[in-house]
């Protein structure tokens, strides 16, 4: 029987992103393998801005080069921003870009959301763009979702845009084939295989159903799906 290949370590993931800052500084290039990335970004920031129009404090988990925070600042002005990422070069670029768009403080934390300590009832909005698929097991998902719930103020909101699987394996297989076709159309067969190989090695996505049930389990009051297309979805919850 073939043994499952071990997933990438945190250090391996960090190293990959350390060398990819320029690409992730541009939404069109950094997220081109994500179906409907610009639309999902628009929708989750629109939702956050509607739910928390008077927001003061934003947390961006896995902030990369800052695209999600920058978009959020077009919806709610002068947020105090806390940016978390494994990669120091990503954080440096994100802080440089974000500081140009807000008069409030911009804090950076180099680390893993599983380990980082967050203030209780402090944030109005939490964004997690293409990052939580690195969580490895149900215990980690619950720990992180509970940590985010505790860190939010009452009425605060948590928004995710990410790669997902499906509850039924045959449906996962169906949409994985569709995604493979999308990648081939985007960059050819070699590009398709390269992307699928690093997803297989690096990522452990969960279904939207799993994540929304976990949101309710840790205490969120409302959960909503904003958009889903193939193996990608945008959704969130309100405390």
State the pTM of this model: 0.92
- Could you tell me if residue 4 is inside a domain? no
Report the mean per-residue pLDDT for the chain.
91
Q: How sure is the predictor about 19, in pLDDT bands with cuts at 50, 70 and 90?
A: low
238 vs 45, 51, 59, 189, CA distance in Å? 14, 8, 15, 41
Q: Is residue 78 part of a domain?
A: yes
3-state secondary structure the chain: CCCCCCCCCHHHHHHHHHCCHHHHCCHHHHCCCCCCHHHHHHHHHHHHHHHCCCCCEEEEECCCCCHHHHHHHCCCCCCEEEEEECCHHHHHHHHHHHHCCCCCCEEEEECCCCCCCCCCCCEEEEEEECCHHHCCCHHHHHHHHHHHHHHEEEEEEEEEEEECECCCHHHHHHHHHHHHHHHHHHHCHHHHHHHHHHHHHHCCCCEHHHHHHHHHHHCCCEEEEEEEECCEEEEEEEC
Say if 179 falls within a structural domain.
no
CATH number of the domain residue 79 falls in: 3.40.50.150
Q: Is residue 60 part of a domain?
A: yes
Domain that holds residue 32: 10-165+205-238
Is the model more confident about 143 or about 29? Answer: 143
Is residue 51 assigned to a domain? Answer: yes
Task: Tell me the mean pLDDT in the region 198-212.
Answer: 94
Q: What is the pLDDT of residues 45-81, one digit of tens each?
A: 999 999 999 999 999 999 999 999 999 999 999 999 9
The answer to whether residue 146 is domain-embedded is: yes
Q: How far apart are CA 235 and CA 229, in angstroms?
A: 12
Evaluate whether residue 174 is within a structural domain.
no
Asked whether residue 5 is domain-assigned, the answer is: no
**Can you give the pLDDT at residue 151?**
98
For residue 106, what are the CA distances in angstroms to 26, 55, 66, 92, 120?
20, 15, 11, 11, 18
Domains: count for the chain: 1
| pLDDT band with cut points at 50, 70 and 90 for residue 18 | low
pLDDT higher than 90, residue 30 = no
pLDDT the model gives residue 16: 65
């Amino acid at each position: 029987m073939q043994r499952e290949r071990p997933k990438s370590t945190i250090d391996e993931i960090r190293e990959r992103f350390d060398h990819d800052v320029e690409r992730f500084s541009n939404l069109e290039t950094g997220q081109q393998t994500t179906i409907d990335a610009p639309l999902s970004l628009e929708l989750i920031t629109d939702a956050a801005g509607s739910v928390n129009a008077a927001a003061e404090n934003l947390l961006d988990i896995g902030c990369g080069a800052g695209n999600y925070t920058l978009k959020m600042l077009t919806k709610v002005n002068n947020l105090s921003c806390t940016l978390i990422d494994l990669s120091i070069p990503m954080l440096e670029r994100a802080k440089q870009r974000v500081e140009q768009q807000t008069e409030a403080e911009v804090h950076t934390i180099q680390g893993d959301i599983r380990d980082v300590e967050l203030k209780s009832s402090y944030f109005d909005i939490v964004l997690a763009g293409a990052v939580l698929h690195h969580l490895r097991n149900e215990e980690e998902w619950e720990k992180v979702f509970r940590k985010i719930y505790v860190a939010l103020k009452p009425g605060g909101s948590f928004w995710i845009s990410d790669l997902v699987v499906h509850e039924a394996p045959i449906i996962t297989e169906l949409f994985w084939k569709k995604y493979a076709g999308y990648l081939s159309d985007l960059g050819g067969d070699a590009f398709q295989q390269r992307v699928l190989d690093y997803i297989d090695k690096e990522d452990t996505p969960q279904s939207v159903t799993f994540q929304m049930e976990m949101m309710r389990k840790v205490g969120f009051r409302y959960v909503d799906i904003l958009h889903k297309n193939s193996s990608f979805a945008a959704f969130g919850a309100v405390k």
